[in-house]
Chains A and B, each alone.
Chain A
């Protein structure tokens, strides 16, 4: 691979109780590309994603071994403040989770808690990120309205803007379009292709077409294991693994 590696995962094993959820994961995720985690539901994609910003900490009985290195730092075993690591990564969930406050404050929240409270500065940043998420035109006249007054598609874009506002370098997206209508989904996909110029994006999906449209690099998972990974065109045109081939062809026919 010619592009620099952003996230390097080595020998990652993860158990929840007695269940072996992730088995010997070894993957590298390139910088400023869209890496798609592909596979059927329940294969461990989401868990792998949530390992990257340690949201697995919120689960009971999780045991984890191996390493996840981001910018030369093993985030699984770091002593550094976990909030700083999480701030590096914006998260987009399966359905939007706006904060219980108005649209403006949804974006400003992350800025305020990291100490940027200057009013003028806040105004500027809120506008900038809302524009980046293509939400400014729809929301500029109702910034004081509750976030729950937005449509689901708009809420998801708000969540994206909110994530961008805290200056992440990575965007983790967990099937971000699964609750959205086709038009909103396309808007999100299009945004990702714009955003990859400045961010490393990891996208979890089980929709092959979506992967085909946006992926630069593909990681294919099956029953907790990574069975194939590589540049998108190689994996899609010439899959080496039988399961991958079936998945790709099955969806074509």
Chain B
């Protein structure tokens, strides 16, 4: 018995130790990632100022000019437009599913949302090339009397908006579900119609949650790489319209890994781009999640 107890305690301690190690590793991971990328981008930071890297529009790696502005602006264009497209769809669908829809619609939509969320980025890219790019070129172009190749900010945004729909929608459904039913009952009992209840009470009450959901969607969209890269055109230029091609930051990293070693400091600027991406996305995430936590505390 004594031996058994010792063995048992030993096993408990070993498990405990391993669990603790894993937990500490996981907790430190964001820090390690940040530091690792910073370490790699140090060479470029020591020869170029941060302002130059972020706000210069001159990108000529051969002549040692590394301005990321065209890429950052392209990213902003693509993400913002994709949010503008997907936000109303998500909001309307979330309201529909939580307030109006019958049970079977919900049962149908659950797997639809899950599958959409599970489809790999590269498949969205293929779909974008097959459907969205020709659509922009053959339908949208003539509408505005323009000859378009279709590889453009608009195509990137359209593909991206479909990709972030399941992500935002899931959060929104949670947000609307967590609203107390008493709220609806109270509004209905003072004579409001269903839609008035939704419009004046529920949406208002859920507003911080809705903003957070959009924020999280935005940060998800900002880092999306392959699908956007496949349809956005990838031309280094500050975009001035949705029909022009763009070159988002993640695409820059993904497209140039091959040449990473051939031009001096090229690997460093790419790692710096990854660091910028990491910082922007994490800050956005942080802000949105803190907002959610604050709201939950309020309730």
Chain A residues proximal to chain B, CB less than 8 Å: 81, 113-115
Contact = CB atoms under 8 A, between A and B. Distances in A.
A143 to B, nearest CB: 25
B221 to A, nearest CB: 38
Interface of B: 1, 4-5, 8-9
A181 B8 CA distance: 40
A109 to B, nearest CB: 14
Contacts of B4: 114-115
8 contacts: A81-B5, A81-B9, A113-B8, A114-B4, A115-B1, A115-B4, A115-B5, A115-B8
Contacts of A113: 8
A1 to B, nearest CB: 35
Nearest to A84: B5
Contacts of A115: 1, 4-5, 8
Contacts of B5: 81, 115
A167 to B, nearest CB: 13
A115 B8 CA distance: 9
Contacts of B8: 113, 115
Nearest to A117: B4
A114 B7 CA distance: 11
Nearest to B1: A115
A11 to B, nearest CB: 32
Interface of B: prevailing SS: helix
A81 B5 CA distance: 10
B88 to A, nearest CB: 42
A81 B8 CA distance: 12
A57 to B, nearest CB: 15
Given A114-B4, A115-B4, 6 more contacts: A81-B5, A81-B9, A113-B8, A115-B1, A115-B5, A115-B8
A81 B9 CA distance: 10
Nearest to B12: A83
Query: 6 tightest A-B contacts by CB?
Result: A115-B4, A115-B1, A113-B8, A81-B9, A115-B5, A115-B8
A113 B7 CA distance: 11
Contacts of B9: 81
Nearest to B3: A115
Nearest to B2: A115
Nearest to B7: A115
A53 B9 CA distance: 19
Nearest to A115: B4
Contacts of A81: 5, 9
A122 to B, nearest CB: 15
A154 B163 CA distance: 50
A76 B111 CA distance: 51
A173 B8 CA distance: 28
A115 B5 CA distance: 8
Contacts of B1: 115
Among A81, A113, A115, which residue has the most Cβ atoms of chain B within 10 A?
A115
B182 to A, nearest CB: 24
A115 B3 CA distance: 10
A115 B1 CA distance: 7
B5 to A, nearest CB: 7
A114 B4 CA distance: 8
A113 B9 CA distance: 11
A81 B4 CA distance: 14
B179 to A, nearest CB: 28
A124 B45 CA distance: 74
A246 to B, nearest CB: 35
A252 B151 CA distance: 84
A87 to B, nearest CB: 11
A115 B2 CA distance: 10
A159 B9 CA distance: 25
Contacts of A114: 4
Nearest to B4: A115
B101 to A, nearest CB: 32
A114 B1 CA distance: 8
B185 to A, nearest CB: 28
B164 to A, nearest CB: 37
B9 to A, nearest CB: 7
A46 B9 CA distance: 30
A86 to B, nearest CB: 14
A214 B104 CA distance: 52
A178 to B, nearest CB: 27
A114 B5 CA distance: 8
B12 to A, nearest CB: 9
B82 to A, nearest CB: 42
A113 B4 CA distance: 9
A111 to B, nearest CB: 12
A249 B15 CA distance: 55
A114 B9 CA distance: 11
A108 to B, nearest CB: 16
A114 B8 CA distance: 9
A135 B148 CA distance: 79
B13 to A, nearest CB: 12
A114 to B, nearest CB: 8
B2 to A, nearest CB: 10
A115 B9 CA distance: 12
